[in-house]
Amino acid sequence: ADGYYEYGMQECVYSTSDYSDMVLLVSYSFNKDVYVQFNSTVDKFVGLTVYGVKQAEYFNKNQAYLQQLKAGVDTFCRPNAQVIDSSVRDKA
């Protein structure tokens, strides 16, 4: 339908079974175009559009939010990956 669509998405990306290469990506999109993204290996937001650059500057000033996201690999990604991986391995 007509209108605008804005959303955020969190992804935990990894390829090793010990999760040593795990990365947390947090992306904000508008009408399917990602305009700003946090990457836990860079530890900051990066703007991908003109608007996204301004948003990245704003987000990067919020140290509490950045610390929460930096901890996300250990508090969000690994625990969930372990649960999901073990349930998949048990079924295989």
Q: Tell me, what's the pLDDT at 11? A: 95
Query: In the CATH scheme, what is the code of domain 6-90?
Result: 3.10.320.10
| pTM for this prediction | 0.84
Segments in 1-92 forming alpha helices (H): 50-61, 63-72, 78-91
Arithmetic mean of pLDDT, 84-89: 79
Q: Tell me, what's the pLDDT at 56? A: 98
In the chain, what percentage of residues exceed pLDDT 90?
77
Q: Tell me, what's the pLDDT at 35? A: 97
Tokens of 46: 């990066």
Q: Tell me, what's the pLDDT at 88? A: 75
Q: Tell me, what's the pLDDT at 90? A: 63
Give the domain ranges of the chain: 6-90
The CA-atom distances, in angstroms, between 48 and each of 10, 16, 24, 30, 54 are 17, 28, 17, 12, 10
